[in-house]
Amino acid sequence: CHTQMYTTSRGRMCFHDLRSSAILKEPAKNFEIPETAYLTKHFFSEVLTSISDAKFTADGRYVLSRDYLSLKLWDVNMEKKPVEVFPVQPQLADHLPILYQNNALFDRFQCAPSPDGTAFATGSYSNRTIIQGKSTPAVALTAPVPTGFLSKTSEFKMTPAIPGPSITQTRFNEKVLLCAWHPKQPIVAVSGFTGLDVYEQTSGSTMDDPSPGLALRRSKTVF
């Protein structure tokens, strides 16, 4: 692979072509939403635009990025704005001072695209894993807190991701920060405060519409 990508705390994604130089001086491409595109700017703007994770889709055509409140899908040929913006936890946008005081605003969530690029996974609070279809509404998968070192297949709740739980109902200590999608199979592994959860698509469902046939295979409690 000849393309190096890195992100900044100011909401910028930078591409560098290693074929031109092995020393990074100036990026070949800068992906960033101009400040003029935001209706308002406030004390928390820079924190909210900070990119916590970014991943290429398997075909290399798109990049999926995650900031505190949303997922963004970028076309590698369009540097000025994303082609799609998917809200993840918009219900928290009105409570930024509280999130700043308890340091939740600095949590860094990962994201992961599916092998075919039709769905995206990321984490949130209250042990919620968000599966966002490219053209279907997002769903939240909420696994129960494990009680033992090793658990069998577990029951879990599937609800619409938007709107999420209110700030008074949000369990900030149960957060899904780590996320990975199997490169070839419909399997998503997520981890956070409690342990490792593995969601696997079974017959009758697709990951962009996982309503029927999705199973939770809990691996183990690791924390």
Query: Tens digit of pLDDT for each residue in 168-202?
Result: 999 998 899 999 999 988 889 998 766 788 888 76
User: CB–CB of 76/145 below 8 Å?
Assistant: no
Number of H helices, E strands in the chain: 2, 16
Q: Look at 203 and 157; give whichever has higher pLDDT.
A: 157
pLDDT at 5: 81
Residue 178's pLDDT is 93
Helix (H, G, I), strand (E, B) or coil at 197: strand
pTM, 2 dp:
0.82
pLDDT tens-digit series, residues 81-125: 899 999 999 999 889 999 999 899 999 999 999 998 889 999 999
Cα separation, 79 vs 72, in Å, equals 12
Nearest-angstrom CA–CA distance, 167 and 193 = 18
Segment 134-141 mean pLDDT:
88
Cα–Cα dist 58/13, whole Å: 18
- Please say whether the beta carbons of 198 and 130 come within 8 A: no
Tokens found for residue 190: 């997520």
Distance, in Å, from the CA atom of 152 to the CA atom of 130, rounded to the nearest integer, reads 22
Q: Does residue 122 contact residue 108 with C-beta atoms inside 8 Å?
A: no
Is residue 122 within 8 Å of 107, Cβ to Cβ? no
pLDDT recorded at residue 154: 56
- pLDDT exceeds 50 at position 129: yes
33, amino acid identity: I
Question: What burial letters (b/e) apply to 103-141, b meaning 16+ CB within 10 Å?
Answer: ebbebebbbbbbbebbbbbbbbbbbbbbbbbbebebbbb
Q: For residue 223, what pLDDT is reported?
A: 40
- What confidence score (pLDDT) does residue 157 get? 77
Q: Is the pLDDT at 28 greater than 90, yes or no?
A: no
Task: Give dist(CA 196, CA 183) in Å, integer.
Answer: 18
Residue 66's pLDDT band (boundaries 50, 70, 90)?
very high
Give the model's pLDDT for residue 74: 92
Q: Is pLDDT at 27 greater than 80 in this prediction?
A: no
Q: Are 181 and 115 in contact (CB under 8 A)?
A: yes
Cis omega before residue 160 (within 30°)?
A: no
d(Cα 2, Cα 21) in Å, to the nearest integer? 10
Which range is least confidently modeled, 29-43, 92-106, 131-145?
A: 29-43
Position 37 scores a pLDDT of: 53
Q: What's the pLDDT score for residue 216? A: 58
Helix (H, G, I), strand (E, B) or coil at 81: coil
> What integer best gives the mean pLDDT of the chain?
80
Percent of residues, the chain, with pLDDT higher than 90: 35
What does the pLDDT read at residue 108? 93
